[in-house]
Amino acid sequence: MPVDSIGVITRIWRIAKILDDDRRRTLGLLGIDAATLDLLSTLRRAGAPYRLAPGALARLSLLSAGAVSQRVARAEQSGLVRRAKPGGDGRSVLVELTDTGHELLDRVVDDLLSHEETLLDGLTPDERADLTGLLRVLLGDLTARFALDDRPAPPP
């Protein structure tokens, strides 16, 4: 029975759990949840004027239309996004990042990245570079194999 994978896979699972718990806790302290951060980040990555159709948001976030609708409704209630009807027919809707959403995203991302940088304090710069390279290789291989099996590939 092959057991060599246990030393790698088990550690990756444990690290993922620790990082997930820490990110959830940190985002809570910063006044946002992961779903809202994902929504705002997706809109920001779209570029100016920072708006997308709900269908595009669903595709880019790998979510159902219903999940996107719920996220948008929560963020809209908080003033982080607004729904805009660009066409004269009133049928099409775009979700747009507000100034409040921009400001929150700027603050949260800066604070989150600063915090997460400290999580790597136990590694030297060379160890970080080595780990980054190894994880890139593993992720690339797994992504390719999952795609070949017609299963959804994990996000990069």
Give tens-digit pLDDT for 24-74: 999 999 999 999 999 999 999 999 999 999 999 999 988 899 999 999 999
pTM of the model: 0.78
Task: State phi, psi for 81 to the nearest 5 degrees.
Answer: -140, 165
Cβ(54)–Cβ(69) under 8 Å?
Answer: yes
User: Facing residues of 84 across strands?
Assistant: 94
Place of tokens 């940190």: 26
Please indicate whether residue 147 or residue 61 has the higher confidence score (pLDDT).
61
Using alpha carbons, select from 45, 65, 60, 55 the residue that is nearest to residue 94. Answer: 55
Stretch 141-149: mean pLDDT, rounded?
Answer: 81
> Please, what is the average pLDDT of the chain?
91
Centroid of chain to Cα 130: 24
CA separation for the pair 27, 105 (Å, rounded): 11
List the alpha helices (DSSP H) in the chain: 4-30, 34-45, 54-61, 65-77, 99-118, 125-148
Place of tokens 């940088």: 117
Q: Is 4 exposed, middle or buried (0-12, 13-18, 19+ CB in 10 A)?
A: exposed
- Residue 23 has a pLDDT of 96
Confidence of residue 117 (pLDDT cuts 50, 70, 90): very high
Map residue 85 onto helix, strand or coil.
coil
Confidence of residue 145 (pLDDT cuts 50, 70, 90): confident
CA separation for the pair 2, 9 (Å, rounded): 13
Cβ(95)–Cβ(56) under 8 Å?
Answer: no
CATH of domain 32-106: 1.10.10.10
Output the CA angle 22-24-27, nearest 5 degrees. 105
- Residue 108 has a pLDDT of 96
CA separation for the pair 14, 142 (Å, rounded): 19
